[in-house]
């Protein structure tokens, strides 16, 4: 399957993507994770992206689209993928359409995770991520690790993302409404959007998402 996951910052895209990708046996492609990996490795791409991310703004399309295309071109993505955080504006959605068209394939669904803004802010404020693997995501209250500051899955150190400050989160929400939400209409016109309320326990949301995707398949 080829799926796009969309939703405001902190909606639980990364959390759900880890389970959905595993259940569907497709790679989880997160442009945010790719940028963060480039930043920690000190690459030119990481240097180009860092200031935009710290400000809560979108990284320019020419950087992002090239990186996403490269990743989608890897052999493991040949038969499907779960895109998390890409596309994030209409220009990127059009670029994705071109890639799919060139490969003679189509998206199966756009899964839209709906979460009220006050909940999103609480989720982001308490989020902690593993230094070894960004798919290991915790929350100090909702999904606390057994030992404070230590990843349950690999023993790695947990940290708080630099763009998870109150001011930056507000900016990211603003950018989501003005630049990313329009892609929901773009995909709605293609009949691809499935909206689910992503409240409740993580496994309940996964079940809801899997049920909705199965109905589409």
Which is catalytic among the residues 71, 123, 127, 208? Answer: 127
Q: Could you write out the DSSP letters of every residue in 58-110?
A: PPPHHHHHHHHHHHHTSGGGTT-EEEES---SHHHHHHHHHHHHHHT----EE
**Residue 168 CB coordination number (10 Å):** 19
3-state secondary structure at position 29: strand
Is 104 labelled as part of a ligand binding site? no
| Partner from ligand AP5, Zn ion, none contacting 12, C-beta within 5 to 8 A by type | ligand AP5
3-state secondary structure 144-170: CCCCCCECCCCCCEEECCCCCCHHHHH
Which is catalytic among the residues 2, 71, 88, 128? Answer: 88
From the list 63, 113, 115, 151, which residue makes contact with Zn ion (rule: CB under 5 A)? 151
**Does residue 56 bind ligand AP5 (CB under 6 A)?**
yes
| Partner from Zn ion, ligand AP5, none contacting 27, C-beta within 5 to 8 A by type | none
- Which of these segments, 20-28, 31-39, 96-104, 147-155, binds ligand AP5 (CB under 6 A)? 31-39
**Does residue 43 bind Zn ion (CB under 5 A)?**
no
- Contact, 58 vs 9, CB < 8 A? no
**Does residue 153 bind Zn ion (CB under 5 A)?**
yes
**Cα 182 to Cα 124: distance, rounded to the nearest angstrom:** 23
- What's the Cα-to-Cα distance from 7 to each of 77, 114, 144, rounded to whole Å? 22, 6, 23
**Cα 104 to Cα 193: distance, rounded to the nearest angstrom:** 21
**Does residue 130 bind Zn ion (CB under 5 A)?**
yes
Is 92 labelled as part of a ligand binding site? yes
The distance from CA 86 to its chain's CA centroid, rounded to whole angstroms, is 7
Is residue 22 annotated as a catalytic residue, yes or no? no
Q: List the binding residues for AMP.
A: 31, 36, 57-59, 85-88, 92, 161, 172
Q: List the binding residues for ATP.
A: 10-15, 127, 137-138, 200
Give the residues lining the site for ligand AP5 (CB under 6 A): 7, 9-15, 31-32, 35, 52-53, 56-59, 64, 85-86, 88, 92, 123-124, 126-127, 137-139, 142-143, 163, 172, 202, 205
């Amino acid at each position: 399957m080829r799926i796009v996951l969309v939703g405001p910052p902190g909606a639980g895209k990364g959390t759900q993507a880890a389970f959905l990708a595993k259940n569907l046996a497709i790679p989880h492609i997160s442009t945010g994770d790719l940028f963060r990996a480039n930043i920690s490795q000190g690459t030119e791409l990481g240097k180009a992206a860092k200031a935009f991310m710290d400000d809560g703004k979108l990284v320019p399309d020419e950087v992002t689209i090239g990186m996403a295309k490269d990743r989608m071109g890897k052999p493991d993505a040949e038969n499907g993928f779960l895109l998390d955080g890409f596309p994030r504006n209409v220009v990127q959605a059009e670029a994705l359409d071109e890639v799919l068209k060139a490969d003679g394939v189509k998206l199966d669904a756009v899964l839209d995770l709906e979460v009220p803004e006050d909940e999103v802010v609480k989720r982001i404020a308490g989020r902690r991520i593993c230094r070894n693997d960004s798919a290991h995501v915790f929350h100090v209250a909702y999904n606390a690790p057994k030992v404070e500051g230590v990843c349950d899955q690999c023993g790695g150190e947990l940290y708080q993302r630099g763009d998870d400050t109150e001011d930056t989160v507000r900016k990211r929400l603003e950018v989501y409404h003005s630049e990313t939400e329009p892609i929901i209409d773009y995909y709605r016109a293609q009949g691809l959007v499935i909206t689910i309320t992503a409240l409740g326990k993580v496994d309940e949301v996964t079940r809801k998402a899997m049920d909705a995707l199965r109905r589409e398949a």
